[in-house]
Structure formats: C-alpha cells, structure tokens
C-alpha cells in the first residue's frame, strides 16, 4: 500500500492557523470597508448549472477552466469559477423585491482549472461587490472609489498602486471604426490586447499581424502603435475622440477626482478579458517592482440579469482576490503582526493543580477571555515550548499556590516580562492588549 501524500491538491492551499490569521485580517478589513459604503452580504451555492457560465462568461472560462461533472440526476454542473453569473441569477429571481440601487457583497471561494503560478491558484478567495440599478457613470465612480478605499484601508499610500481605466464601448469603436475589424477579428484582438503585458512585444506584433491579415497589417500595426503610445485621452488618435464613450470616460474621471481618487489613469490598452463587460472597465495595479502586476479589477456589465428572461438591470462590480492582496501587503510591508485568537495559555506546574487551573480558565472565559489550558501533565519546560510555538500573547502559571493566594503569574511573551496579578488585573491586562491590537489592525477606520 502506497503512502498518502501530505500535499494539497495542485493549485490549492492548506491554511494553518498563521495563514488563517492573515486571511481573516484581509476578510475583516474588506468587510468593514464595504459595509461602511452600504453594501450588504449575500451567499450563493458552490455548484451551478454549467450553462450559467457558457451563456456569457466566455468560452475559455466555461470550457477550459471550469471544473464540471454530471451529477446523479444527470445534470451537468460546475463548481463556480466566479460569482457574477450567480448574483445576476439571484437578482433576476428577486428583481421586484429588491430596493435599488441594490448594493451587494460576498466573500467566497472559487475554482478554476488553470496553470498555477504566483498569485494565481486553482482554488481562490474573492470579495465580490456589485451595485445594481444605476445606469450613469456615478455607479462606476462609486465602485472604483470603493476599490480605492479597500486598498487604502490596509495602510497603502497612493504611490503604491494605480487604477487603470478604459471603456468597452470605446474599445468596440476602436476595433470596428478605427482598426476596421470584423466581429471575429475584434474578438481576437481584444483577447490579444488583454495578454499584451504577459507576452513579448514581438509575439504581440506577430499575432496582431495574423489577426489583421497581411494586406492590411502595415497600416494596422501603425495604428495599434499609436494606441499603445497614448498615455492619456488627449493622446488618442482624432478618429477615436469622435466616440461618445470618450465623453463618458471624461465624466468618470471628473467624478473620481471629486471623490479624492488621484491615482486613476486612462489606459486604452486595458481590455478585461471576460465577454460580459459593456462599459467602463478598470484594474488596480501594484506599483512595487517585485509585484508589478494587476491585483484585481471590475467594470460595468448591463446584460447578465437579462439573460434570465427578465428586464435587464444595469450593474457595475469588482472582485479583489485574497492571495493577490496578500502579495501586495507583503511587498509593501503592510501586514501587521497577527497574534493567535487565543489570548492566554495556562501552564500547569503540577497535575494536582489542574482542577484549579480549569476552574480559573472558566472564570476567565466568563469575562470574555480566550484561554486554553495545558491538560497533558507534561513537564513545565515542554508546556512552555509548546506555548511559544502558538504565537499567543500571554502565558499564565496556575498552581496550588497561585490559587490559594489568588495572585497569578502573567507572562507577556513579546516583552518577556512577568507580573503577579489578581484575577481582575489579569482580565484588564488581556483586554487592553486585545484592544491595542485591534486598533493597530484597523487604524484606517478610527
């Protein structure tokens, strides 16, 4: 019989307590920001009919990256690769009962069968936020402003990230009117632009020529070079400035500046690969040289709710990923020191004192203190070594003498100091330590 592997399934992660502390810190910060903006939490099933994704998410995601199987009822189902189709289904089902604008969020896990690499896993966690029922650019401004606040909530400065913005209406105009491409060529060119920063410049040029066709490739490549060179809307070719989408983008930037978002820039090459986007698209990029990449993005998708046989509902959303966020925080040294959720470990010098230590622990728990007791009967040095591995703030020595005198030795592990304290002083000391840690973690919200 072969030995079972201790490794998780390829592209997934095990989350030990130290890993969960980081993940929970990210989740808690996300939750605080979006709820302060008036977003309410929802949840959806892990499994959906495969057709939910083939309808609009794009063939690559639905056919090549989705985990699918046939269930016992002979239904073809998929483990959700994203949340947007699910929340669109939910809104369609309760469209008459929701109050608009409907601001909704979830924090959930997803699976995609793709090549694992840094920041990209087969199982991943995301914050999903969407605003339903607003047609104008105020909705885009709100979601992009929310993205800005989410990043800033972790202590980031404006120079640590940049928000890149484009518009799918402008992209469509660019493909059909400026480059003169048909529907098939436009689709291929959008996908190519979406990969532009992930492939060599020569490969991008060669693939663009293939899409343009030999006869038109010379002029087409020159036009594409002008697009790539444009660093602002003022740099766009005159033919593109005739698009109504340009006015929409200009209005959006005016709103963003009024909202205090100063690090948003226009990027004509930004595509966002998913097929369902219909208007503004944006991505948040990390500027750190060790992690210079897109962190997350979003945009307007007005058509998905209408796929369920009801009237379309205009929608804008975004989806930050937890792993990408963790890399951002680590690159910029923004992660706080996160202690165990256990406040105190009780070390029992002798088995005779165990009953008293257990009674003492119950009293602490009644006061809201998170406490564990070493019940192993091991020698005291082994108990101490075990506590030090757990990243717990405090250790208390509770034996017969301490119970008799009602004075307990509280050791602050970080400062390596000890005090003999009454029960009441132990409780107040622990509460103060916990409050100080929470203040450090969520200073943005004070």
CATH classification of the domain holding 236: 3.30.930.10
Q: Is residue 137 reached through a cis peptide bond, with omega within 30 degrees of 0 on the bond before it? A: no
Residues facing residue 41 across a β-bridge: 105
Is there a single domain that holds both residue 298 and residue 382? no
Is there a single domain that holds both residue 262 and residue 350? no
Confidence at 161, pLDDT banded by 50, 70, 90: very high
Please state whether beta strands 161-167 and 264-266 pair in parallel, antiparallel, or not at all (unpaired): parallel
Domain housing 179: 17-331
What integer pLDDT is reported at residue 113 of this predicted model? 92
Number of domains in the chain: 2
Does 4 fall in a domain? no
Is there a single domain that holds both residue 432 and residue 290? no
State yes or no: pLDDT of 254 exceeds 90: yes
Burial class (CB in 10 A: 0-12, 13-18, 19+), 201: exposed
- Of 296, 331, 366, the residue at which a domain comes to its end is 331
| 57/330: higher pLDDT | 330
Is there a single domain that holds both residue 184 and residue 289? yes
Strand residues in 306-414 grouped as ranges (E): 315-318, 344-347, 371-373, 394-397, 408-412
Q: What is the pLDDT of residues 347-369, one digit of tens each?
A: 999 888 899 999 999 999 999 99
Mean pLDDT, rounded, for 270-274: 78
What integer pLDDT is reported at residue 271 of this predicted model? 85
Confidence at 109, pLDDT banded by 50, 70, 90: very high
State yes or no: pLDDT of 141 exceeds 80: yes
State yes or no: pLDDT of 436 exceeds 90: no
CA distance 258 to 141: 10
What integer pLDDT is reported at residue 60 of this predicted model? 61
CA distance 386 to 261: 48
Is there a single domain that holds both residue 327 and residue 353? no
pTM of the shown model: 0.90
State yes or no: pLDDT of 75 exceeds 70: yes
Does 3 fall in a domain? no
Mean pLDDT, rounded, for 127-147: 97
Confidence at 217, pLDDT banded by 50, 70, 90: confident
Is there a single domain that holds both residue 230 and residue 176? yes
State yes or no: pLDDT of 21 exceeds 90: yes
State yes or no: pLDDT of 434 exceeds 60: yes
- Tell me which of 100-114, 183-197, 348-362, 430-444 is least confident: 430-444
- Of 274, 305, 331, the residue at which a domain comes to its end is 331
DSSP structural state of residue 370: -
Does 203 fall in a domain? yes
Mean pLDDT, rounded, for 88-107: 97
Is there a single domain that holds both residue 312 and residue 436? no
State yes or no: pLDDT of 239 exceeds 70: yes
């Amino acid at each position: 019989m072969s030995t079972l592997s201790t490794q998780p399934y390829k592209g997934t992660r095990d989350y030990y307590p130290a890993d969960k502390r980081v993940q929970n810190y990210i989740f808690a910060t996300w939750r605080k920001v979006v709820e302060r903006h008036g977003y309410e939490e929802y949840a959806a099933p892990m499994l959906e009919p495969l057709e939910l994704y083939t309808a609009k998410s794009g063939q690559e995601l639905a056919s090549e990256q989705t985990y699918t199987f046939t269930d016992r009822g002979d239904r073809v189902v998929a483990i959700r690769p994203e949340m947007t189709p699910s929340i669109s289904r939910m809104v369609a089902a309760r469209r008459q009962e929701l109050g608009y604008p409907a601001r909704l969020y979830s924090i959930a896990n997803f699976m995609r069968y793709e090549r694992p690499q840094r920041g990209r896993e087969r199982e991943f966690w995301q914050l999903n936020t969407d605003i339903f029922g607003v047609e104008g650019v105020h909705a885009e401004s709100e979601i992009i402003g929310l993205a800005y606040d989410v990043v800033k909530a972790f202590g980031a400065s404006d120079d640590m990230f940049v928000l890149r913005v484009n518009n799918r209406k402008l992209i469509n105009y660019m493909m059909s009117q400026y480059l003169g491409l048909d529907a098939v060529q436009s689709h291929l060119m959008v996908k190519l632009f979406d990969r532009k920063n992930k492939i060599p410049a020569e490969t991008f040029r060669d693939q663009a020529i293939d899409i343009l066709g030999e006869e038109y490739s010379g002029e087409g490549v020159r036009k594409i070079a002008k697009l790539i060179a444009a660093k602002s809307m003022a740099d766009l070719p005159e033919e593109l400035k005739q698009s109504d989408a340009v006015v929409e983008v200009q209005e959006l930037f005016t709103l963003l500046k009024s909202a205090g978002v100063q690090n948003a820039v226009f990027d004509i090459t930004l595509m966002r690969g998913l097929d369902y986007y219909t208007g503004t698209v944006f991505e948040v990029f990390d500027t750190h040289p060790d992690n210079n990449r897109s962190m997350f993005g979003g945009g307007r998708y007005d058509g998905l709710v209408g796929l369920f046989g009801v009237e379309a509902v205009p929608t804008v959303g975004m989806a930050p990923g937890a792993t990408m966020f963790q890399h951002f925080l680590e690159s910029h040294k923004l992660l706080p020191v996160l202690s165990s959720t256990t406040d105190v470990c009780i070390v029992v010098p002798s088995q005779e004192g165990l009953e008293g230590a257990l009674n003492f622990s119950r009293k602490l728990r009644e006061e809201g203190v998170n406490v564990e007791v070493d019940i192993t009967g091991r020698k005291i040095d082994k108990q101490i070594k075990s506590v030090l591995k757990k990243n717990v703030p405090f250790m208390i020595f509770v034996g017969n003498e301490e119970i008799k005198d009602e004075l307990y030795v509280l050791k602050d592990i970080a400062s390596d100091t000890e005090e003999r304290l009454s029960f009441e002083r132990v409780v107040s000391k622990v509460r103060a330590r916990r409050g100080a840690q929470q203040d450090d973690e969520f200073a943005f919200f004070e």
